[in-house]
């Protein structure tokens, strides 16, 4: 199939502007050129601008007659301009420094600069070790960095006087080495590029001084050449994108030199430098290392093809692609993937690699529609662009934008620094609420003073109070002692039926609709009653333990989840007294006496109530004259309970039904929207490819993931009116919400109508039996009836895509997910006299955003931090646990480690926390449920937690954008959620209540950065799972340990074994043995280590520092992660004497050593092997 797009590059310049690097392209079906260059050829007529900012041109000769003379004049003008530019560029190159001069100047600059701790930690986070950071020459710079000792101003990036650098902001300077180790250029990395608007990676340049980074001899942009600390594959050279750290990390991980390019467009742009480097490296085998997602990106794949062709022209026959199935960006780049993935990298041919690139279907949707359209003049276009720019500034800066006024901006900075006021309750006077002064109040109080502090704040007019006291400090107990003298006190909790304190249990429970409850006798509430949860009919439990209060509960919940207004009232619903479901319910009369409405009426009559927030009366629809204006609300676990967004999931069937409504009631509108319907359906059917995590409406999305781009969303004349019509049609159905419900079966025996109290008691069992039988018969039928009613959302999808409504649309895996703003919780809190939000890990910024109020409205209080010195966290690193989708091997390792911990290290009560769907471990609770807001683990001395409690990334991102209107600060917020859940887990044991008892939490995860816990006084020990039991190691790690054991037993005889014989002893194939030996540096290398072991440790003491330097072993076993630097030195030291005895006996009695030390002998020997060998 012919390509739809012809892309213009140095081999095929743009016919409109003559440029090669602007990303210009021509649609081969319409002959329309999309151009970003300047000085367009008069042979082309400007049509309009496309939605990506490209100007669209078409040959004048295809539109009208065009003078050949004018065309030739334009071509001549472009030729002269290009010659003038080339002359200037050549002059820059001639006057530039040689490589030797650049190297001297750059090293002089680096000698004057430091590397801050902050930047060092950022580099470590990228995967660089301290040794690599030191060798890389990375340095920190401040904006317009000054130099004490001047250098040549002819070096690109140095100012005209040679006494400073031309870096526009703070960041990191990266020297670029060539194959000879000479620094030939400087790159600049801005870690805060998203905030500053600068490029993330740029050249340090001196354009105004006529300097250039280009090579003096070839006139080409420099390439970076990095070597590993030890070359494992001679004559092999890697090629990858990036100049800074990616190729450096790749070289170290792969064991051969790697050449880095400045970007994808530079792959074929420095042929002479590339050819020279390959020859000096004596390369015979070339490995191209593409980034994740590169194979699907046409901007990457086309330069890659040019590079492959260039290498073949030079005679390189062995060209391979490093492949770890990195089709999508989520699969990780070479510097992001795990060591296990590194070991599994396959080498495939360029043809196999290119075969993984499907035809770019996204480009096919920009065909004839882009060629037409109203013509506008160049001046009109520029005027429109200017207006768009002004609107963009207003949108992103809002009222805070002060232009470039230095005084105003400095005043704003000083306000930010000085506006936090910290007070101590009982010592400092609490001022009256005055948010206009911009002061943020943070108040500390002593134990037992919480209620007094809150009452004082309410008295002073504070409406929103956030209690961030540590877990287990009595927030629930003390806050439930509050009373409102003029109104009600509400205790709002997701699990309101099961109070955890006596003060909460004393409040009346506001019932929610349910069709029955089940009792869990294994757990008790504060009053000793069994926990209760909702009942759902099943053959295993056909009867609930507690009778339901509304047999229509499922109908209410499911229709509300589908977006219908189940509480709407009109004249057709009992004269507006009931919603449409209650108005037609056969138990409407008895419900007000003995059912849900009666229970609710009685509960609302109490002055103190506990409830779920979704069951509380609507502020705009009061019940029995109820008003919140004198009430106090206490929100438990506010960060999870209080919501400002709502999620809705739609299938193609849901959308088709709503499209049918539009087609029937507004056929013209339907026809105008039909192209979008077709594209959405194609995406849901998988015909339009989207990333694994879906395509999104987020404005920051790339072309590959942008819904607006992939669906071809272009606002047209009258689209606002069309959206209004769609909204009116959908709203009509939303309010009625009874389509399809004619078949809904009640089949419910009326328990109460016409029966006396005595008769109700007499026939209670018979009625319940009939209910159960009929419920089992109709349950599946009614589920299907409601399932056939479409989930609403078509209007919201269109409105968000066209930029008319807030929210996020995400399409993937055959579903549409809507994240919409939700105002109900805000409205309840707004109407209250005062609100207290209890959450140890919620930030005031997050709460303010959810409430939709300025941060100054929130008063933050907290009790003094309790002593947690009796708690120890053992952070155990295990590969393969970065996501929730664990491989079978990872599950095996988790099970082995947990069993080992329970059998060998835990001799008292323990509990296990993991993901809810974990079925291979015997768990006692799960993340986000039992890891927060529960006392069931109080006093349990040992907790084992498996996995990192990350929330769904896409869901959180969509919620964050819907609430904040931007993604600025999202990454920090997302990581704070993980930290919050870990901190919540630490509070479950209530360690501070048992100061004479020691507590331990074993956290098993891949991400084990728990430094934030140390600031709370918690002791954290880091280790690797393999250090606890070899069974917790990967197959590769276990094979390596067994290989060491065999070598120790056989000594010199080990050399005589063939790889096949070793494989038989290990129970693996010969190819696996070869890989294990090669990773250790060869058989001779292993033998030298064995010999060193005997010489080094027999009769010689060993120190703790020696054991801590196990680099060789840890690298060989691939457990040398930065998170695993602290190892169990004390344990091993206590076993050294046993090890000496073992070696003195010739290393034969393995079983005796294992029995004596209670640790696998091969592991002890392997640890000993980690000491530095003799030279």
Q: Whose structure tokens read 């344990």?
A: 1131
Cβ proximity of 50 and 42 under 8 Å = no
pLDDT digits (tens, 9 = 90+) for 1071-1122: 777 777 776 666 666 666 555 544 444 443 333 233 333 444 445 555 544 3
User: Does one domain contain both 988 and 1115?
Assistant: no
Cβ proximity of 47 and 58 under 8 Å = yes
User: Does one domain contain both 913 and 807?
Assistant: no
The reported pTM is 0.58
The pLDDT, as a whole number, for residue 1115 is 52
User: Does one domain contain both 883 and 954?
Assistant: yes
pLDDT of 626 strictly over 70 = yes
- Quote the CA–CA distance of 696 and 798 in Å, as a whole number: 13
Cβ proximity of 143 and 164 under 8 Å = no
Helix, strand or coil, per DSSP, at residue 226: strand
CATH code, domain carrying 881: 3.40.50.300
Work out the average pLDDT over 834-858: 91
Give the containing element (helix H, strand E) for 15. Answer: none
**Residue 202, domain extent:** 96-222
CATH code, domain carrying 306: 3.40.1360.10
Partners of residue 911 on adjacent β-strands:
943
Confidence tier at 644 by pLDDT (50, 70, 90) = very high
Phi (first) and psi of residue 765, to 5 degrees = -65, -40
Longest Cα–Cα distance of the chain, Å, equals 108
Helix, strand or coil, per DSSP, at residue 1125: coil
pLDDT digits (tens, 9 = 90+) for 1113-1133: 445 555 544 333 333 333 333
User: Does one domain contain both 672 and 795?
Assistant: yes
Helix, strand or coil, per DSSP, at residue 744: coil
CATH code, domain carrying 167: 3.90.980.10
Work out the average pLDDT over 295-320: 83
Instruction: Domain count for the chain, please give it.
Output: 7
- Quote the CA–CA distance of 578 and 595 in Å, as a whole number: 15
Question: Pairing mode, if any, of strands 25-27 and 5-7?
Answer: antiparallel
pLDDT of 124 strictly over 70 = yes
Domain-embedded: residue 798: yes
User: Does one domain contain both 83 and 201?
Assistant: no
Please indicate whether residue 878 or residue 766 has the higher confidence score (pLDDT).
878
Q: Whose structure tokens read 């005055």?
A: 434
Residues in CB range of 1028: below 8 A, 6 or more apart? 876, 897, 900, 901, 905
Domain-embedded: residue 330: yes
256: how many CB neighbours lie within 10 A of its CB?
20
User: Does one domain contain both 61 and 120?
Assistant: no
Domain-embedded: residue 857: no
954: nearest Cα among 968, 972, 969, 974: 974
The pLDDT, as a whole number, for residue 595 is 86
Cβ proximity of 284 and 318 under 8 Å = yes
- Quote the CA–CA distance of 824 and 1009 in Å, as a whole number: 37
Domain-embedded: residue 638: no
Q: What is the DSSP string of 747-774?
A: ----SSTT--HHHHHHTHHHHHHHHHHH
- Quote the CA–CA distance of 573 and 575 in Å, as a whole number: 6
pLDDT of 318 strictly over 60 = yes
The pLDDT, as a whole number, for residue 230 is 86
User: Does one domain contain both 1017 and 881?
Assistant: yes
pLDDT of 878 strictly over 70 = yes
The pLDDT, as a whole number, for residue 1172 is 31
692: how many CB neighbours lie within 10 A of its CB?
11
Domain-embedded: residue 346: yes
Work out the average pLDDT over 574-597: 76
1045: nearest Cα among 1084, 1090, 999, 998: 1090
Last residue of a domain, one of 1027, 1055, 1080: 1027
The pLDDT, as a whole number, for residue 958 is 93
| Average pLDDT over the chain, rounded to an integer | 78
Question: Pairing mode, if any, of strands 44-49 and 139-141?
Answer: unpaired
The pLDDT, as a whole number, for residue 1139 is 46
User: Does one domain contain both 333 and 242?
Assistant: yes
366: nearest Cα among 14, 16, 33, 811: 33
Domain-embedded: residue 344: yes
Cβ proximity of 32 and 50 under 8 Å = no
Last residue of a domain, one of 166, 189, 222: 222
The pLDDT, as a whole number, for residue 997 is 92
Between 409-413, 791-795, 859-863, 889-893, the lowest mean confidence (pLDDT) is in 409-413
Domain-embedded: residue 749: no
Work out the average pLDDT over 883-892: 87
Between 275-289, 383-397, 611-625, the lowest mean confidence (pLDDT) is in 383-397
Q: For residue 432, give the DSSP letter.
A: P
Between 123-132, 407-416, 883-892, 1101-1110, the lowest mean confidence (pLDDT) is in 1101-1110
User: Does one domain contain both 800 and 924?
Assistant: no
pLDDT digits (tens, 9 = 90+) for 663-678: 999 999 999 999 999 9
The pLDDT, as a whole number, for residue 259 is 93
Last residue of a domain, one of 990, 1006, 1027: 1027
pLDDT of 401 strictly over 60 = no
- Quote the CA–CA distance of 156 and 187 in Å, as a whole number: 10
The pLDDT, as a whole number, for residue 1076 is 73
Confidence tier at 624 by pLDDT (50, 70, 90) = low
- Quote the CA–CA distance of 781 and 773 in Å, as a whole number: 14
Domain-embedded: residue 850: no
Work out the average pLDDT over 324-345: 87
User: Does one domain contain both 69 and 165?
Assistant: no
Please indicate whether residue 344 or residue 760 has the higher confidence score (pLDDT).
344
872: nearest Cα among 986, 750, 983, 1019: 1019
User: Does one domain contain both 263 and 319?
Assistant: yes
User: Does one domain contain both 103 and 216?
Assistant: yes
Find the Cα–Cα–Cα–Cα dihedral 1058, 1060, 1062, 1065, rounded to 10°.
-140
């Amino acid at each position: 199939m012919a390509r739809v797009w012809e892309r213009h590059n140095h081999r095929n310049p743009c016919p409109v502007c003559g440029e090669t690097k602007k990303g210009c392209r021509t649609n081969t079906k319409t002959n329309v050129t999309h151009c970003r260059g300047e000085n367009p050829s008069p042979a082309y007529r400007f049509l309009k601008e496309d939605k990506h900012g490209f100007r669209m041109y078409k040959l004048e000769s295809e539109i009208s007659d065009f003078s050949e003379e004018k065309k030739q004049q334009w071509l001549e003008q472009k030729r002269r301009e290009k010659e003038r530019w080339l002359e200037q560029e050549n002059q820059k190159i001639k006057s530039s420094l040689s490589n030797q001069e650049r190297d001297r100047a750059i090293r002089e600059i680096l000698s004057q600069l430091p590397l801050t701790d902050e930047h060092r930690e950022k580099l470590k986070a990228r995967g660089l070790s301290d040794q690599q950071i030191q060798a890389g020459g990375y340095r920190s710079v401040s904006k317009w960095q000054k130099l004490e000792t001047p250098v040549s101003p002819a070096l690109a990036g140095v100012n005209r006087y040679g006494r400073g650098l031309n870096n526009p902001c703070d960041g990191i300077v990266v020297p670029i080495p060539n194959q000879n180790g000479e620094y030939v250029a400087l790159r600049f990395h801005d870690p805060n590029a998203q905030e500053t608007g600068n490029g993330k990676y740029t050249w340090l340049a001196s354009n105004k001084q006529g300097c250039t980074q280009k090579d003096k001899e070839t006139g080409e942009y420099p390439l970076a050449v990095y070597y590993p600390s030890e070359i494992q594959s001679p004559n092999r050279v890697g090629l990858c994108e990036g100049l800074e750290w990616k190729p450096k990390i790749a070289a170290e991980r792969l064991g051969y030199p790697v050449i880095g390019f400045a970007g994808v467009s530079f792959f074929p742009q420095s042929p002479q430098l590339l050819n020279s480097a390959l020859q000096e490296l004596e390369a015979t085998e070339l490995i191209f290392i593409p980034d994740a997602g590169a194979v699907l990106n046409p901007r990457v794949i086309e330069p890659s093809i040019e590079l492959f062709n260039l290498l073949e022209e030079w005679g390189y026959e062995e060209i391979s692609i490093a492949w770890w199935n990195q089709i999508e960006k989520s699969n990780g780049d070479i510097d992001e993937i795990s060591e296990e993935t590194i070991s599994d990298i396959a080498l495939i041919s360029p043809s196999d690699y290119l075969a993984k690139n499907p035809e770019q279907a996204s480009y096919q949707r920009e065909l004839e529609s882009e060629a037409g359209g109203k013509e506008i003049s160049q001046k009109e276009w520029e005027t429109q662009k200017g207006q768009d720019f002004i609107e963009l500034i207003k949108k992103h800066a809002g009222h805070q934008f002060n232009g470039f006024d230095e005084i105003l901006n400095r005043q704003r900075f000083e306000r930010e620094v000085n506006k936090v006021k910290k007070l101590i309750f009982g010592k400092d006077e609490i001022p009256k609420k005055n948010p206009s002064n911009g002061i943020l109040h943070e108040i500390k109080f002593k134990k037992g003073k919480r209620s007094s502090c809150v009452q004082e704040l309410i008295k002073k007019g504070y409406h929103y109070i956030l209690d961030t006291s540590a877990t287990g400090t009595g927030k629930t107990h003390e806050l439930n002692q509050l009373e409102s003298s003029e109104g009600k006190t509400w205790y709002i909790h997701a699990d309101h039926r099961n109070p955890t304190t006596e003060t909460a249990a004393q409040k009346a429970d506001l019932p929610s609709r349910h069709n029955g409850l089940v009792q869990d006798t294994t757990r008790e509430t504060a009053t000793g009653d069994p926990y209760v949860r909702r009942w759902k009919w099943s053959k295993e439990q056909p009867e609930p333990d507690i009778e339901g209060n509304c047999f229509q509960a499922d109908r209410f919940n499911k229709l509300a989840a589908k977006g219908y207004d189940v509480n709407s009232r009109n004249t057709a619903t009992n004269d507006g007294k009931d919603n449409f479901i209650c108005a037609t319910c056969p138990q409407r009369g008895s419900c007000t006496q003995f059912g849900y409405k009666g229970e609710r009426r009685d509960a609302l009559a109490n002055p103190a109530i506990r409830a779920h927030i979704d069951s509380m009366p609507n502020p705009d629809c009061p019940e029995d004259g109820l008003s919140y204006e004198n009430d106090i609300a206490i929100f438990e676990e506010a960060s999870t309970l209080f919501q400002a967004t709502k999620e809705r999931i739609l299938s193609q069937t849901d959308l088709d039904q709503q499209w049918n409504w539009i087609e029937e009631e507004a056929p013209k509108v339907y026809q105008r929207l039909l192209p979008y319907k077709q594209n959405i359906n194609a995406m849901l059917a998988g015909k339009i490819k989207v990333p694994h995590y879906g395509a999104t409406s987020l404005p920051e999305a790339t072309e590959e993931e942008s819904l607006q781009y992939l669906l071809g969303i272009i606002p047209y004349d009258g689209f606002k009116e069309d959206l209004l019509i769609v909204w009116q049609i959908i709203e009509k159905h939303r309010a009625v919400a009874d389509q399809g419900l004619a078949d809904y079966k009640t089949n419910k025996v009326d328990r109460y109508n016409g029966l006396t109290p005595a008769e109700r008691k007499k026939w209670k069992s018979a009625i319940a039996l009939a209910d159960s039988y009929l419920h089992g018969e109709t349950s599946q039928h009614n589920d299907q009836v409601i399932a056939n009613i479409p989930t609403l959302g078509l209007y919201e999808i269109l409105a968000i895509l066209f930029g008319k409504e807030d929210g996020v649309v995400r399409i993937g895996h055959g579903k549409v997910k809507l994240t919409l703003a939700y105002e109900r919780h805000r409205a309840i809190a707004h109407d209250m006299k005062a609100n207290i939000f209890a959450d140890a890990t919620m930030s005031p910024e997050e709460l303010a955003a959810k409430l939709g109020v300025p941060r100054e409205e929130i008063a933050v209080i907290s009790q003094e931090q309790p002593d947690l010195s009796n708690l120890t966290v053992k952070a155990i690193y295990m590969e393969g646990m970065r996501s929730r989708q664990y491989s079978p091997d990872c599950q095996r390792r988790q099970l082995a480690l947990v069993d080992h911990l329970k059998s060998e290290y835990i001799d008292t009560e323990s509990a296990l926390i993991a993901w809810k769907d974990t079925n291979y471990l015997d768990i006692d609770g799960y993340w986000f449920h039992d890891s927060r807001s529960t006392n069931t683990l109080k006093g349990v001395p040992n907790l084992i937690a498996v996995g990192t409690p990350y929330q769904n990334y896409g869901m959180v991102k969509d919620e964050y954008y819907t609430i904040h209107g931007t993604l600025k600060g999202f990454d920090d917020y997302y990581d704070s959620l993980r930290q919050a859940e870990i901190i919540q887990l630490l509070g479950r044991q209530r360690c501070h209540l048992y100061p004479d008892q020691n507590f331990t939490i074993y956290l098993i995860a891949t991400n084990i950065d728990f430094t934030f816990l140390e600031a709370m006084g918690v002791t954290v020990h880091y280790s690797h799972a393999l250090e606890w039991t070899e069974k917790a190691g990967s197959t590769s790690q276990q094979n390596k340990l067994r290989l060491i054991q065999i070598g120790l037993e056989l000594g010199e005889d080990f050399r005589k074994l063939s790889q096949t014989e070793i494989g038989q002893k290990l129970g693996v194939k010969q190819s696996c043995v070869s890989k294990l030996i090669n990773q250790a540096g060869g058989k001779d290398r292993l033998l030298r280590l064995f010999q060193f072991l005997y010489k080094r440790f027999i009769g010689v003491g060993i120190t703790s520092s020696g054991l801590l330097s196990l680099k060789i072993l840890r690298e060989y076993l691939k457990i040398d992660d930065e998170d695993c630097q602290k190892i169990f030195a004390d344990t091993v030291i206590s076993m050294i004497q046993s090890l000496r005895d073992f070696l003195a006996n010739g290393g034969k009695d393995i079983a005796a050593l294992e029995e004596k030390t209670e640790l696998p002998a091969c592991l002890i020997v392997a640890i000993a092997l980690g000491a530095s060998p003799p030279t």
